[in-house]
Amino acid sequence: MPGRARPEGSPRPAEPTSPSLLLDPLTSLPSVSLPSVTGPLSERLERLGRLGRRGRTGRVRPEGFGCAAEPTGERLTRILRSPQFVDGAFRNPVRTRRMLPGTTLAALQAALIENRDRRRPARAVPVHRLTAEQLALPPATGLRLTWLGHAGVLAEIGGRRVLFDPVFGERCSPVPGFGPRRLHPAPIPPAELGAVDVVVVSHDHYDHLDLPAVRALAGRDAVFAVPLGVGAHLEFWGVRPERIVELDWHESAEVAGLTLTAAPARHYCSRGPRTSRYQLWASWIVAGGGHRIYHSGDTGYFHGFAETGAQHGPFDAAMIQVGAYSRFWPEVHMTPEEGVRAHLDLGGGVLLPIHWCTFDLAPHAWDEPIERTLEAALAHEVPVATPRPGEPFEPAEPLPQRAWWRVIAAPGAHEDVDGDTQSLVPIPADLGAAATADAADRPDEDDENDTVGAPA
């Protein structure tokens, strides 16, 4: 399908050949064998409908894969008009590769053997059981954040409730029983959340756009705010079109008295082995009631954080991705040190580290992201909140800063198992960031891998 033309004389993008090992290893199955379903006819039909829909080949395609049809109508018109849509696919703001060339085998080996004894906590994660009674009390300062695990955050801002990247499913997968499994339960069932005004989704990956969460929230009056093109999945799953707001980068919408803005991010979308061509990814800014917050979604480091901070900051708090990084995909996920640098670029206020603790998605140790984040943040005097999943806090009040994860990390990981995070010894201020310094100065450029919409 045509898109905005690439500048004359610039190279056309080649099709990447390495699949992402971060989120796609189990999504390449185009169909599944249905289990035997017994019982009354109506019950059997209902259960089959939950398992999936029949595709063009006649085989059943799990509904978790989302909408397979190409966009049409007004959605297609907006996609083709987007400055981010080039040569038939959405592109990143700078040169971006899903994986470094020639690393597929090494990444597979690392996934199988690297840090195997430290990729999960040794004991149960001490989840704070959030209750409806707690949520019924309004925040004293007008802004309260509750990290639900991974990238999920409930933000109470301007008298409204905004739910970022909610995941209530047991696994990151379109097929029940497969894919990365939760390492701790959700702090609160969706039925007990009460009213939610806006559900914000950063991009189309299973650990951010979760079918069980969408189904649990679709029957309410919440508005779903998503990057351009992602709304097709929501409609496919039953969300009414009038409850969906799709934004391109730098676009804003007024929802429930809040201003929502989609900002650039360095990532991609996919619900299978091929990169999605028609779904954009984004970070998000929400402003209201005299407060302003930022959610990074998933992203590699790039100069856009400073631009976003200059245009929309400063922020009361920034929720920054610090986990699921790897030397095999350094351009689509930040390391903890890059996350702190991004926070500084943004003028992010209080740093809430996200995208760690809940799923095993990369070969680093389970607690490595938060430890490295704290070391880098302390070196730059960045205030960091370290709540347990489900523990509410207000950025303008004393922050939760206990190193609760050390008690449950793999044996021998920490000598000080009950220390305050502020007792950590700072590391040198350079962050070891030669690579990030290079990325910060790298201009937008055309590259054979700049468009990540080709088959992976």
- 200's enclosing H/E stretch is strand 198-200
What is the model's pLDDT at position 454?
Answer: 27
Mean pLDDT in residue range 237-252: 97
The answer to which of 40-44, 175-179, 244-248 has the lowest mean pLDDT is: 40-44
Q: Is the pLDDT of residue 55 over 60?
A: no
Higher pLDDT, 233 or 444: 233
Strand 291-295 to 317-321 pairing: parallel
pLDDT band at 411 (very low <50, low <70, confident <90, very high): confident
Q: How many CA atoms lie within 13 A of 286 on its CB side?
A: 33
Q: Among residues 305, 372, 381, 377, which one has the least CA distance to residue 345?
A: 305
Higher pLDDT, 380 or 411: 380
CA-to-CA separations, 390 to 56, 126, 132, 187, in angstroms, rounded: 42, 10, 12, 5
- What is the distance between the alpha carbons of residues 190 and 43, in angstroms, rounded to a whole number? 25
Query: For 342-383, what is the HEC assignment?
Result: HHHHHCCCEEEEECCCCCCCCCCCCCHHHHHHHHHHHHCCCC
The answer to which of 56-65, 186-195, 239-248, 279-288 has the lowest mean pLDDT is: 56-65
pLDDT band at 272 (very low <50, low <70, confident <90, very high): confident
What ranges in 34-157 are assigned the alpha helix state H?
41-51, 73-81, 104-113, 132-136
CB-based contacts of 351, cutoff 8 Å, min separation 6: 317, 318, 320, 340, 343, 373, 377, 382, 383, 384, 385
Amino acid present at 278: Y
Write down the pTM of the prediction: 0.82
- What is the distance between the alpha carbons of residues 328 and 103, in angstroms, rounded to a whole number? 6
Give the distance, in angstroms, between the CA of residue 410 and the centroid of all CA atoms in the same chain: 26
pLDDT band at 176 (very low <50, low <70, confident <90, very high): confident
Q: Is the pLDDT of residue 302 over 90?
A: yes
Higher pLDDT, 445 or 241: 241
Q: Is the pLDDT of residue 292 over 70?
A: yes
CB-based contacts of 337, cutoff 8 Å, min separation 6: 372, 376, 431, 432, 433, 436
Q: Is the pLDDT of residue 337 over 70?
A: yes
Mean pLDDT in residue range 307-325: 98
pLDDT band at 410 (very low <50, low <70, confident <90, very high): confident
What is the model's pLDDT at position 175?
Answer: 86
Q: Is the pLDDT of residue 340 over 50?
A: yes
Task: Render pLDDT for 95-132 as a digit per residue (tens, 0 to 9).
Answer: 999 999 999 999 999 999 999 999 999 999 999 999 99
The packing angle between helices 336-346 and 304-312, to 10°, is 30
Domains of the chain as residue ranges with CATH: 117-428 (3.60.15.10)
Q: Among residues 417, 423, 303, which one has the least CA distance to residue 367?
A: 417
Give the distance, in angstroms, between the CA of residue 47 and the centroid of all CA atoms in the same chain: 30
Amino acid present at 281: W
Let me know: does 228 contact 248? Beta carbons within 8 Å. yes
Q: Mean pLDDT over all residues of the chain?
A: 83
What is the model's pLDDT at position 254?
Answer: 98
